[in-house]
Amino acid sequence: MKYSIADMRRNYTRDGLVESQAPEDPYTLFGLWFSQAVEVESTEPNAMMLATVDGEGQPHLRTLLLKGFDDRGFVFYTNYQSAKGRQLLAHPVAAMTFWWPDLERQVRIEGRVEQVTDQESDQYYQSRPLGSRLGAWTSPQSQVISGREELEQRLAEVERRYADAEPPRPPHWGGFRLVPQMIEFWQGRPSRLHDRLRYCREEDAWRRERLAP
């Protein structure tokens, strides 16, 4: 079956992004855009695409949720033994993209990756609902399993193990921080003449430049 999507075209008309509106610090602009996305986007404004690379140079892409950001970088959590966890530990670079269609905006971020501290991982883990905490013990993420029944049996075992105690954070589960070297802000414009402002890290300062759409 063949699908034609050539006529699926949207004209972007909401807003623009000019240098006079853009702060020198990209974190300030990201914070503003993110707060506006929280107000406007209907579901998961913190959803992002995360790209990693394996030992053969093969890129891998998936959707997950941002769990925090500040001037140190952008934080997310995962099983360190999952495919993305192993890739990030072996090759600590990554890229992430946020797409906010209601605002006609995109943010691309690239940089090195580091593990967050145990204290940060513990604090976030304890803030999660009980089911999510038990799930971190249950799932051998990215590994092949025999079926749904295996997962349910593993969950039942974990629930029995921690029936009378709070589950601690699994040693194989925690956070990563993407420390950006590049952040690009994309704002849709009519006729595909979009605004693109890129911030590049140079020692202790950010260089801002405009890219052609």
* Residue-level pLDDT at 144: 87
Q: What is the pTM of this model?
A: 0.91
pLDDT at 13 over 80: no
CB–CB of 134/115 below 8 Å?
Answer: no
14 is catalytic: no
Whole-angstrom distance, CA of residue 212 vs CA of residue 209: 10
- The residue-averaged pLDDT of 159-187 equals 96
Catalytic residue among 14, 161, 192, 207: 192
What's the pLDDT tens digit per position in 46-85? 999 999 999 999 999 999 999 999 999 999 999 999 999 9
- The residue-averaged pLDDT of 119-144 equals 94
* Residue-level pLDDT at 15: 80
| Ranges of each domain in the chain | 19-126+173-210
Binding-site positions for substrate read: 67, 124, 128, 132, 192-194
Q: What angle do CA 4, 6, 8 make, to 5 degrees?
A: 100
- The residue-averaged pLDDT of 179-192 equals 94
Could you say which of 3.40.47.10, 3.40.50.300, 2.30.110.10, 3.30.565.10 is the CATH number of the domain covering 19-126+173-210? 2.30.110.10
* Residue-level pLDDT at 14: 75
* Residue-level pLDDT at 178: 98
Query: Average model confidence (pLDDT) for the chain?
Result: 93
Q: For tokens 């295996």, what's the residue?
A: 150
